[in-house]
Amino acid sequence: MRPTKMIFILLGVLCVFTITAGFDIHNDGSDPPTKAQLGEKLFFDPILSINHSISCASCHQPAFGFADTLAFSKGIHATPTSRNTPGITNLSGRPSYFWDGRSATLEEQALQPIISPAEMGLPIATAVARLNASSSYRQYFQLVFNGPATEQNLLQAIAAFERTLETANSPYDRYIAGDDNALTPSAIRGRMLFIGKANCNNCHSGEDFTADRFKNIGLYNGTTLRDAGRFDVTRDSAHRGFFKVPGLRNVAVTAPYMHNGMFKTLREVINYYNDPNAVIKDGLNRDLSLSKPLQLTNTEITDLEAFLVALTDDRFRIHKP
C-alpha cells in the first residue's frame, strides 16, 4: 500500500458519508476548512457549469464508485458525452488520466470537464469570476488559500478532494491481510483464474489492478467502432484503438463498462475476453494476448465474476451478482 493511502482512505470514508448538496465547510467557527473539503463542495456544486445545471458529481456519482450508470453521461442541455464516465476512486499517483491519457495530473484532469463544451461548458476564467463573486466562496478561498479563487487553486482543491477517494477495505483486502474467510470459495477460485488461466493480471496488475498502460482490446474497427482512443492525443497510427487500462477496484458498481459503455454487466465483459471474436470479429490491431479464446467454462466465468465483486470497498457494496 502506498505510504499515504491509509490517510486518504480515512478521509475518503468521511467524505463519502457526509456529502450533501448544501454542505457548509465553515459555519461554526471551528478549524479552517481544508483543500479537500473545499474541493468536495466544488465537486458537488453546479456553479461550475455554464447554466448551473450539473456538477462534477452529476456524472461521478458517489454510490457507484464515482462513475455513472449511463453508457454516455449527459452534459449541459442533456447532451450526451462521447465516452463512458469512469470511476474516480484510487486515482492518486496515477501517471495519466482519461481513457486517452491526455492529462498528466489530477489538476489537469479536473479542468477538462469544466471547460468541455459537451460537459459543463464553462470557460475557466468565468468559473473563477463566479467564485470570487460569491461571498461564501470568497470566504472559503481566503481561509484555505489566503487569497481569492484562481484557476490554479480551484483545480488544486478539486484534485485534493479526489485524492481522498482511495479505497482498500474490500473482502479481497481482508483476505490478503490474512482473513481466510473474507472471500467465498467461488471468489478464491476466481482469484486463481484472474492470475492464471484468464490472464487478467497481464493488464490489471498492482494494488489497484491497473498497470497504467494503454491497450487495444479490439473495440475499434474504424467503421461501427470509430473511437480511436490514444491516437487522438498522440496522432501516432500505432495507437489507434488504444485506451488506458482502468483499475478494477470497485468495478462491480461502475457499470456499464468500456470506454463506450457497450457492456452492461461484468459477465458480458468476461464473456468478451473469453472469446473476443465471438463478439467483435473485425477489431483492428487487437492485442496479441487476446488472439485465442480463453475457453472458460460457465462455472469459471461465475468464479471470476465473484472475485471481481470482492474488489468492492465496503462503502460501495450494493452490487448483486
Query: Mean pLDDT, consecutive 10-residue segments, the chain of 321 residues?
Result: 45 42 53 92 98 97 96 95 96 96 97 97 98 97 97 98 96 97 98 97 95 96 97 97 97 97 98 97 94 96 98 80 41
Check for a shared fold between 5-162 and 171-316. yes
CATH number assigned to the domain covering 5-162: 1.10.760.10
Give pLDDT, residue 320.
Answer: 46
- Taking the chain, what is the end-to-end CA distance rounded to the nearest angstrom? 28
Helix (H, G, I), strand (E, B) or coil at 257: strand
Give pLDDT, residue 24.
Answer: 59
Give pLDDT, residue 126.
Answer: 98
Instruction: Judge contact between 12 and 166, C-beta under 8 A.
Output: yes
CATH class of the region 171-316: mainly alpha
Give pLDDT, residue 32.
Answer: 73
Give pLDDT, residue 46.
Answer: 98
Pairing of strands 243-244, 214-215: antiparallel
Residue ranges per structural domain of the chain = 5-162, 171-316
Give pLDDT, residue 317.
Answer: 77
